[in-house]
Amino acid sequence: MIKDVMVWVDGSLADEIRLDVAGSLARHFDSHVIALVLNPMPLRGSIEGPPATVAQSELLEKAREAGDITEAKLVKRLALLERPVEIRRFDVLAVDIADIAAREARTADTFVALRPNGAMDPERLVEGVLLESGRHLFLFPETERPKIAFDRILVAWNGSRESARAVAEGMPFLRQAKEVTVAVVTDKRVTEQDALVGADAVNHLKHHGINAVLHRVNNRKHDVGAALLAEAQRRNVDVIVMGGYGRFRLSERLLGGVTSNLMHEAPVPIVIAH
């Protein structure tokens, strides 16, 4: 069940898309909306010299005032959602944003954000929630106005722990669907053992009353991400459910190629879990 929809907001124009998506999900699932405000504060000691203490205090005060303005606007905007709402605001250092977002997401059923492209939603924040929250993200294309539907859903399945987590986290969405396709990407002749991959996932979904079918996607170009995107487009799906592959914060680049590809290029919302 989706009863707590958390959405990250930052006072930018992109908040309109994020809040529209969160509001649509909340109305669909009869949920609360939790707006997460992570107000960035200046790093202490960033100014040197005798007037450093005064200047630092002024910077901190201006940052808090900016957060107050964002929060005041948010109160008015959330009232338009006509749903039970909550604001969680934290004045934090920029380097801590991803960790705090992941911590807060652990007590929500879904975390709404835009695809991490350009200057919209920071990739570090999205990766932090994905890899460290234990919950899924509902990532929405930033170039589209919200149109939430769950009639046709594509499940990217390879039998891994991550894809199993995605299916478990995606159950509330999958139960809404009229058509669910479990897509298994293969670039070789299917062996007897390979033929079993995906069949168990389909049976599992059917046990939950979900009308699911198995489809094998031929990966002629040896590009799993592109093959899944092409299949999603061919089937005109509303949502992609997928596992997020990566490792914890050992370097700046965390996510695998398929995960990064779909997170940045999927033309429809994706439900992604690690």
Domain finish residue from 92, 113, 140: 140
Residue-wise pLDDT tens digits, 80-116: 999 999 999 999 998 899 999 999 999 999 999 998 7
Range of the domain at 234: 152-273
Question: Over 201-219, what HEC string results?
Answer: HHHHHHHCCCCEEEEEEEC
Percent of the chain with pLDDT over 90: 65
Is residue 145 in a domain?
no
pTM confidence score:
0.90
Asked if residue 249 has pLDDT above 90, the reply is no
Q: Are residues 110 and 165 in the same domain?
A: no
Q: Which residues of 189-203 are buried (b: 16+ CB within 10 A; e: fewer)?
A: eeeeeeeebbeebbe
Per-residue pLDDT, averaged over 8-31, amounts to 94
Which three-class secondary structure state does DSSP give residue 118?
A: coil
Q: How far is CA 6 from CA 93, 111, 175, 259, in A?
A: 21, 5, 21, 22
Distance CA 97, CA 87 (A): 16
At 40-90, the pLDDT tens digits run: 998 765 555 555 566 778 888 999 999 999 999 999 999 999 999 999 999
- Of 37, 41, 43, 47, nearest to 12 (Cα)? 37
> What are the DSSP calls for 206-257, one per residue?
HHTT--EEEEEEE-TTS-HHHHHHHHHHHHT-SEEEEE--B-SSSSS--B-H
**Domain-located, residue 146:** no
DSSP 126: H
- Whether residues 232 and 212 fall in one domain: yes
Question: 203 and 107 share a domain?
Answer: no
Tell whether 32 is covered by a domain.
yes
Total domains in the fold of the chain: 2
Domain assignment of residue 101, yes or no: yes
Residue 238 lies in a domain: yes
Instruction: Name the 3-class secondary structure at 40.
Output: strand
Same structural domain, 174 and 110: no
142 pLDDT above the threshold of 90: no
Inter-residue contact 168 to 179 (CB < 8 Å): no
Give Dmax (Cα) for the chain: 75
